[in-house]
Chains A and B, each alone.
Chain A
Amino acid sequence: MTTSTPDLSRRRRLRFSLNRQQLIGLAWQILVVGIAVAIVGWLWSNALHNLSVRRISTGFAFLGREAGMPIADSWLAYNPKDPYVRAFIVGIVNTLRVAVIGIVLATVIGTLVGIARLSSNWLLSRLAAIYVELLRDIPLLLQLLFWYVLMQGLPAARAAWKPIEGVFLSNRGLVLPSVPIAEANLWVIAAAVAGLIALYMLRRQLMARQMADGKVRHLWPYALGLLVGLPALVSLGLGASWTVTMPELRGFNFVGGLTLAPEYFALLIALVTYTSAFIAEIVRSGIQAVPRGQWDAANALGLRRIFVLQRIVLPQALRVIIPPMTSQYLNLTKNSSLAVAVGYQDVVSIANTTLNQTGQAIEAIALIMMVFLTISLGISLFMNWYNARIALVER
Chain B
Amino acid sequence: MTSISDAPQNPLPFNSARSRKVPGGHVIRWLRANLFASVTSSVISVLLIALLGKALVSLVQWGYWNAIWSVPGDQTGACRSIRGLGACWAVIPEKYRFILFGTYPFSEQWRPALVCLTFITLFYVSSRRSWWRKELVAVWAAALVLIGVLMWGGIAGLTYVSQDRWGGLPVTLILATFGLAFGFPLGIVVALGRRSKLPAIRSLCVLYVELIRGVPLISLLFMASVMFPLFMPDGVNIDKLLRAQIAFVLYAGAYLAEVVRGGLQAVPRGQHDAADALGLSYWKKNGLIILPQAIRHVIPPLVNTFIAFFKDTSLVLIIGIFDLLTTAKTSIIDPAWQPFSVEVYLFVGLIYFVFCFAMSRYSRHLEAQARPG
Contacts and interface: CB of A to CB of B under 8 A. Distances in A.
A340 B219 CA distance: 11
A288 B7 contact: yes
Interface residues of B, number: 69
Given A324-B3, A372-B214, A46 B318 contact: no
Chain A's interface: helix, strand, loop or mixed, by majority? helix
Given A127-B52, A348-B219, A287 B12 contact: yes
Interface stretch (B37-45, B116-124, B128-136, B284-292): B37-45
A167 to B, nearest CB: 20
Contacts of A258: none
Interface in B37-89: 37, 41, 44-45, 48-49, 52, 84
Contacts of A355: 222, 226
B269 interface: no
Chain B's interface: helix, strand, loop or mixed, by majority? helix
Nearest to A56: B230
A365 interface: yes
A136 interface: yes
Interface string A350-384: 01100100000110010011001100100000000
Given A32-B201, A355-B226, A120 B11 contact: yes
A138 interface: yes
A334 B215 CA distance: 7
Contacts of B312: 139
A167 B9 CA distance: 41
A153 B342 contact: yes
A287 B11 CA distance: 11
B352 A369 contact: no
B35 A324 contact: no
Contact of A138 (B6, B16, B353): B353
A46 B231 contact: yes
Contacts of A365: 219, 222-223, 227
Given A123-B45, A305-B15, A340-B318, A139 B223 contact: no
A123 B42 CA distance: 11
B218 interface: yes
Given A127-B48, A292-B13, A337 B219 contact: yes
For B14, B52, B204, which residue has the most chain A Cβ atoms within 10 angstroms? B14
A175 B366 CA distance: 48
B145 to A, nearest CB: 28
A141 interface: yes
Interface of A: 1, 25, 28-29, 32-33, 36, 43-44, 46-47, 49-51, 53, 118-125, 127, 133-134, 136-143, 145-146, 149-150, 153, 278, 281-282, 285-289, 292, 295-296, 299, 305, 320, 324, 334-335, 337-338, 340-341, 348, 351-352, 355, 361-362, 365, 368-369, 372-373, 376
26 contacts: A25-B198, A28-B198, A29-B199, A29-B201, A33-B201, A44-B231, A49-B234, A118-B14, A121-B34, A123-B48, A124-B45, A125-B9, A134-B353, A137-B311, A138-B349, A138-B353, A146-B346, A149-B342, A285-B5, A287-B12, A292-B12, A305-B15, A324-B1, A334-B215, A335-B216, A365-B222
